[in-house]
Amino acid sequence: MSYQPRGLEPESQSRVDTVPGSYMSSEYAKQLGAKLRAIRTQQGLSLHGVEEKSQGRWKAVVVGSYERGDRAVTVQRLAELADFYGVPVQELLPGSTPGGAAEPPPKLVLDLERLATVPPEKAGPLQRYAATIQSQRGDYNGKVLSIRQDDLRTLAVIYDQSPSVLTEQLISWGVLDADARRAVASHEES
């Protein structure tokens, strides 16, 4: 058995401890994990989605343990993960909120039951787009469908309107909740 100085353990043996400076404090690890989770969810990725997108480089179980604060992440791995997500490392560090990364924007949720009642001449493109997303996800619950800001921008192009004008139209149809205004406004500001 060889001697290994404290703090130089291989990552597979790293742990989160409550003693400050003895690896990583559990509170700091939890805050860091919350930032990691917020970035991942903002990008619309599940833990398994991260593993798939990274072609197995980032295992779902490892990323999940980082997000829960159960496992310490080295500076090198944090920098690599930030690069994978396409964000500056400082966006992931607790105490930094330059881009508001700690709180994901409100979700855009389409009411599919209400959408079915809107005349096809108005909602046809949206109905086809929603059906395509459902098909890709294998999600056929038929009640609601969450969409991303990118989806809204694509739909705005299809409808030849700005995202905020389209949002108002979808709210008036009862297809989107009024909270969608805040999601679109916060996204247009950034």
Q: 94-113 pLDDT, tens per residue?
A: 875 544 444 455 578 899 99
User: How many CB atoms are closer than 10 A to CB 58?
Assistant: 19
**pLDDT value of position 72:** 85
Position 1 confidence tier, pLDDT thresholds 50, 70, 90: very low
Per-residue confidence band for 188, with pLDDT thresholds at 50, 70 and 90? low
- Mean pLDDT score, 5-21: 41
Q: Name the residue with tokens 């959408």.
A: 115
Q: 121 is written with which tokens?
A: 């001449």
pLDDT of residue 180: 79
**β partners of residue 146:** 109
List, for residues 20-59, the tens digit of each pLDDT value. Answer: 443 456 788 888 888 899 888 888 889 999 999 999 999 9
pTM above 0.75, yes or no: no
Q: What is the pLDDT of residues 162-182, one digit of tens each?
A: 998 999 999 999 999 887 787
| Cβ neighbours for 136, distance < 8 A, ≥ 6 positions apart | none
Please list, in sequence order, all residues whose beta carbon lies within 8 angstroms of the beta carbon of residue 184, skipping any fewer than 6 positions away. Answer: 108, 149, 152, 163, 164, 167
**Which candidate, 119, 122, 175, places its Cα nearest to that of 152?**
175
Distance CA 129, CA 151 (A): 9
